[in-house]
A and B are shown apart, each in its own frame.
Chain A
Amino acid sequence: MQTIDMAKVDLREVNSTLHAQKDDTNQTSWEIVNPKGSHAIAVGLDAPIEVTVRGSTGYYCGGMNKQATINVEGSVGPGAAENMMSGAIIVEGDASQYAGATGHGGLLVIKGNASSRCGISMKGIDIVVHGDIGHMSAFMAQSGNLVVCGDAGDALGDSCYEARLFVRGSVKSLGADCEKKEMRPEHLEILKDLLERASSDAKPEEFNRYGSARNLYNFDVDNAGAY
Chain B
Amino acid sequence: MCGIVGLFLKDKSLEPKLGEMLTDMLIVMTDRGPDSAGIAIYGNDKDSNSKLTIQSENPDTDFAKLDSELGKLIGCKVSMRLADTHAVLEMPAEKIEAARESLSVIRPDVRIMSAGDVIEIYKEVGLPRDVAARFGIQKMSGSHGIGHTRMATESKVTTMGAHPFSTGVDQCLVHNGSLSNHNSLRRKLRRDGVHIETENDTEVGAAYLTWKMNQGSTLGEALESSIDDLDGFFTFVVGTKDGFGVVRDPIACKPAVMAETDQYVAFGSEYRALVNLPGIEDAKVWEPEPATVYFWEH
Contact = CB atoms under 8 A, between A and B. Distances in A.
Contacts of B275: 36-37, 56
B272 interface: yes
Contacts of B257: 77, 96
A177 B242 CA distance: 47
B211 interface: no
A37 B266 CA distance: 15
B255 A37 contact: no
Contacts of A134: 252, 290
Interface string B200-230: 0000000000000000000000000000000
Contact of A116 (B252, B272, B274): B252
Interface in B260-297: 270-275, 285-287, 290
Main secondary structure of the interface of A (DSSP, over half): loop
A37 B271 contact: yes
A56 B271 contact: yes
B253 interface: yes
B286 A77 contact: no
A116 B257 CA distance: 14
Interface residues of A, number: 19
Given A97-B252, A97-B253, A116-B252, A58 B272 contact: yes
A94 B287 contact: yes
A37 B270 contact: yes
Contacts of A69: none
Contacts of B255: 77-78, 96-97
Given A37-B270, A96-B255, A75 B290 contact: no
A111 interface: no
Contacts of A93: 285
A66 interface: no
Interface residues of B, number: 16
A96 B253 CA distance: 10
A164 interface: no
Interface string A37-69: 111000000000000000011110000000000
Nearest to B253: A97
A130 interface: no
Interface centre among B250, B252, B286, B287 (most CB of A within 10 A): B287
Nearest to B268: A37
B63 to A, nearest CB: 41
Interface in A71-89: 75, 77-78
B286 A36 contact: no
A36 B290 contact: no
A94 B258 CA distance: 13
Nearest to B270: A58
A75 B271 contact: yes
A98 to B, nearest CB: 9
A123 interface: no
A116 B270 contact: no
Nearest to A112: B286
Contacts of A39: 272
A111 B100 CA distance: 55
A145 interface: no
A77 B252 contact: no
Given A77-B255, A78-B255, A116-B252, A96 B272 contact: no
B127 to A, nearest CB: 19
Contact of A38 (B251, B253, B272): B272
B270 A77 contact: yes
A57 B271 CA distance: 8
A43 B274 CA distance: 23
Nearest to A78: B255
Contacts of A115: 252, 287
A135 interface: yes
B290 A135 contact: yes
Given A37-B270, A58-B270, A94 B253 contact: no
B285 A75 contact: yes
Given A96-B287, A115-B287, A116-B290, A77 B271 contact: yes
22 contacts: A37-B271, A37-B274, A37-B275, A56-B275, A56-B285, A58-B272, A59-B270, A75-B271, A77-B255, A77-B257, A77-B270, A77-B271, A94-B287, A96-B255, A96-B287, A97-B252, A97-B253, A115-B252, A116-B290, A134-B252, A134-B290, A135-B250
| 7 nearest CB pairs, A to B | A37-B272, A37-B271, A36-B275, A115-B287, A37-B275, A56-B271, A58-B272
Given A94-B285, A116-B253, A135-B290, 11 more contacts: A36-B275, A37-B271, A56-B271, A56-B285, A58-B271, A96-B255, A115-B252, A115-B287, A116-B251, A116-B252, A116-B290
